[in-house]
Structure 1
Amino acid sequence: MANICLVEDEQKVAAFICKGLEENNYKVKTAKDGASAKAMMQTAEFDLLILDVMLPDISGIELCRQIRQTDTKTPIMMLTALDQVQNKVSGLKAGADDYLVKPFHFIELLARIEALLRRKIVNDTEEHILEFEDLKLDTWSNIAERGGKQVALTSKEFSLLELFLRHPNKVLSREYIAEQVWKIDFDTGTNFIDVYVNYLRNKIEKGHKNKLIHTVIGMGYVLKG
């Protein structure tokens, strides 16, 4: 039985979701604001987090960003009444795994939750120590190292590096990276993939002569020696 944390300040919406999930054999704990949610997460472990964007003390997007500073693995779903692409992109960039616009059919919420939990099971059983030359990533402890020295990474930088390490010597297109790391279609009018790859490069290649992430003009990026 999966444990779910629901952060929703609208009582009727929270009751509706909670009742439906419990009828489908999920355990649910609810919080009305970001502060109580963070306190709850310090004393209990959850398999999935559902965050409303509009909370009384903090936006769900900012709450998601704060959670991802210490927890890069627990699936997060955002709920919002704002059906705008920018809000969706902001939530996904903050570290959310999925995004659902209110009002929604409960059956869709349930299907998305099941998909996220299946993905979590697969991720948990995958090889958790990834290595390439002197680069090492532990996906259980969320520790990245280069040449035996730890490298501090953000949630998205960590996910990006993990993607490269799971596909060494393979050219990864910007479209594929956007889909796998950000769960969105790549907009050719933006350069955020290039920006994040450069962030990652600067962190793992600083002080090292051997460059590992290479640009393949017109195609994407590749991790190679």
Structure 2
Amino acid sequence: MQRERCTKPDQISMPRILAIESATQQDSSVAATLATNGFAVDIARSGREGIAMVMAAEYDAIALERWLPDLDGVKVITTLRGVGINTPVIMTSMTAEVSERVEGLRAGCDDYISRPFSEDEMSARVEALLRRKPLSCRAQPVLQLGYLTYDLVRQEVKCWDTVIKLRPTERRVLEFLLRHAGQVLTRAEILEAVWGAPYEPGTNLVDVHIGRLRAAIEVPGESCPIRTVRGIGYILRDMSPRCVNTDAA
């Protein structure tokens, strides 16, 4: 699927913003407002698309609509924060309820603005977010555990010195496991963090991707670090002793 953009050719070197907003907001489009004011803007039309785009690329800031066609914006921000992505986020909403703003801010948003908004104010708020942006929006540019190394900038996974080819979703699963190494993760937690979707009993989506990931990262003579925790989910061993009942399946 071709990525939707609202960017002029001379804006490519400008701060890169992701606008996650539904197509129904054309009358007060965040993407159009920011592009007009000199930002390079990519557009996601749903919460799940937005999560996937943030996982796949680095953005300087995110403008997130509260009520999306598929997900509540609060779910989007908690998913991103849950996997360690700290990109500054400004949330937009058609309502000005204090309780709604408080919920968004407590979920991890950095700012909140109600629609309809002033174009100048919206741009000024994004500029303020960029001034406060940490040097790295992801806590670590390289995640490493034992013989596994995941370079988030290059999107490159290595087992020892060998580059392993993984699908984008498999890389997102691995990133979540690496960021929570040594912790028992339920299937529901993995599903929500990687796909932004609630867990449905009977689905094997997580198990299928874990199986593919195990096959890709297994090294002859080494025990695969991804272990099954019976009746719960999975754990990525952090190479230190753990009192966890695991099964190597």
Per the normalisation by structure 2, the TM-score is 0.52
Q: Which amino acid aligns with 2:233?
A: G
Which residue of structure 2 aligns with residue 29 of structure 1? 35
Which residue of structure 1 aligns with residue 44 of structure 2? 51
Q: Where is the helix percentage greater, Structure 1 or Structure 2?
A: 1
* Aligned-partner Cα distance in 2 for 1:176–1:50: 26
Which residue of structure 2 aligns with residue 146 of structure 1? 159
Mapping of residues 52-201 of structure 1, within 5 Å: 52=45, 71-74=56-59, 105=94, 115=109, 124-201=137-214
- Change beyond 3 A, Cα 1:116–1:213: farther
Task: Give the secondary structure class of the aligned counterpart of 1:137.
Answer: strand
Aligned Cα RMSD in Å? 4.6
> 1:82-107: per-residue Cα shift (whole Å, max 9, x none)?
6xxxx66xxx9xxx96xxxxxx7276
> 1:140-177: per-residue Cα shift (whole Å, max 9, x none)?
22111101111122222112111211222221111221
Task: Give the secondary structure class of the aligned counterpart of 1:145.
Answer: strand
Question: Contact conserved, 1:134 with 1:147, CA < 8 A, in 2?
Answer: yes
Question: Contact conserved, 1:72 with 1:155, CA < 8 A, in 2?
Answer: no
Question: Contact conserved, 2:185 with 2:233, CA < 8 A, in 1?
Answer: yes
1:222 and 2:222 matched: no
- Change beyond 3 A, Cα 1:123–1:45: same
* Aligned-partner Cα distance in 1 for 2:176–2:155: 14
Q: Which has the larger radius of gyration?
A: 2
Unaligned 5+ runs, structure 2: 1-13, 81-92, 112-128, 240-249
Unaligned 5+ runs, structure 1: 23-27, 31-43, 54-59, 98-103
Post-superposition offset of 1:215: 0.7
2:217 to 194, 204, 212: 204
Post-superposition offset of 1:179: 2.5
Task: Give the secondary structure class of the aligned counterpart of 1:168.
Answer: coil
* Aligned-partner Cα distance in 2 for 1:141–1:123: 14
* Aligned-partner Cα distance in 1 for 2:161–2:63: 31
